[in-house]
C-alpha cells in the first residue's frame, strides 16, 4: 500500500528525535497529503484555515516528537490524531464559529454537519467517502464523533438516543469501516 516499512519508520522517528531537518522534510513529503486530507474533512470550506492547521500540525510534530511512544501506536496514527485534534480545536474556537456565522451550539453545528454530509455527497474525500457506505444512522454518529469531536454523551443528547446505543452503534460502524479498509 506504499507505506513505509517498520524499519524505515523507526529510523525516521530516531532522526526526528534528533531534530534532523532532512528527516523532517521527508516526513512532510510523505505524510502532508494524508494529514491535509483529514484536516480538510474537518475544516470544511476554508482552505486558508486548513493550511494554517497543517502548518501548526507539523510544527507540533517537530516540537512533540519526544512524547511519541512507539509502543502505543504507529507514527502515522500519532500524527493523524494530532491533525484531527488540531482541526477539531479550530472548529470549536470562537473565531471559527463566528466566521461560519453559526449562532448556537450544538444543534446548529449538528444541522450543519448533516447538511454538509448531504452537500458533500458529490465530492466527499478520504474517510468520509468510505462513511457513505455505512447505514445512515451509523454514519451520522461517526461523523459527529470523529469529524466534529463530540463526546458520546453529547451525541446521545443531540440525537436523543441512549448513551449505550451511541456506543454500540459507533463501535459497530468502526468495525464495518475496518472491513472496508481491508
Report the interface residues with other proteins, using CB under 8 A: 1-3, 19, 21, 24-25, 28-29, 32-34, 36-38, 40, 47, 51, 54-55, 58-59, 62-63, 65-66, 71-74, 76-77, 80-81, 84-85, 125-127, 129-130, 145-146, 152, 170-172, 174-175, 177-178, 181-182
CA angle in degrees (0–180, nearest 5) for 19-20-21: 110
Q: Which residue is it, cell 500519532?
A: 78
Q: Chain-centre distance of CA 121, in angstroms?
A: 18
The distance of closest approach from Cβ of residue 142 to other proteins in the complex, given in angstroms and rounded to an integer, is 9
Q: Are 128 and 39 in contact (CB under 8 A)?
A: no
Residue 147 beta carbon to other proteins: minimum distance, rounded to whole angstroms:
11
CA angle 22, 24, 28 (to 5 degrees): 115
Nearest to other proteins of 30, 102 (CB atom):
30
> Quick check: 32 and 39 in contact, CB under 8 A?
no
Minimum CB separation from other proteins for residue 30, in Å? 8
First to last CA, the chain: 11
Q: Which is nearer to other proteins, 32 or 114 (CB)?
A: 32
Q: What nine digits make up the cell of 48? A: 486558508
Closest contact distance (angstroms) between CB of 47 and other proteins is 8
Whether the Cβ atoms of residue 156 and residue 162 lie closer than 8 Å to each other: yes
Of residues 98 and 137, the one with the C-beta less far from other proteins? 137
Q: How far is the CB of 112 from other proteins (least distance, A)?
A: 21
Would you say 8 or 98 has its CB closer to other proteins? 8
**Separation CA 79–CA 171 (nearest Å):** 22
Which residue, 2 or 104, has its beta carbon nearer to other proteins?
A: 2
Taking every pair of Cα atoms in the chain, the longest distance, rounded to a whole number of angstroms, is 51
Amino acid at each position: 500500500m506504499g507505506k513505509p516499512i517498520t524499519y524505515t519508520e523507526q529510523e525516521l522517528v530516531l532522526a526526528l528525535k534528533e531534530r534532523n531537518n532532512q528527516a523532517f522534510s521527508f516526513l512532510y513529503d510523505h505524510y502532508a497529503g494524508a494529514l491535509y486530507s483529514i484536516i480538510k474533512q474537518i475544516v470544511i470550506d476554508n482552505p486558508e484555515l486548513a493550511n494554517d492547521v497543517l502548518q501548526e500540525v507539523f510544527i507540533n510534530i517537530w516540537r512533540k516528537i519526544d512524547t511519541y511512544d512507539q509502543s502505543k501506536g504507529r507514527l502515522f496514527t500519532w500524527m493523524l490524531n494530532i491533525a484531527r485534534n488540531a482541526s477539531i480545536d479550530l472548529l470549536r474556537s470562537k473565531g471559527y464559529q463566528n466566521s461560519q456565522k453559526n449562532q448556537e451550539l450544538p444543534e446548529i453545528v449538528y444541522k450543519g454537519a448533516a447538511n454538509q454530509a448531504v452537500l458533500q455527497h458529490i465530492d466527499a474525500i478520504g474517510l468520509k467517502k468510505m462513511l457513505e457506505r455505512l447505514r445512515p444512522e451509523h454514519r451520522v454518529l461517526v461523523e459527529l464523533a470523529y469529524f466534529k469531536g463530540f463526546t458520546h454523551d453529547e451525541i446521545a443528547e443531540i440525537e436523543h438516543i441512549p448513551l449505550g446505543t451511541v456506543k454500540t452503534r459507533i463501535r459497530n460502524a468502526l468495525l464495518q469501516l475496518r472491513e472496508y479498509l481491508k
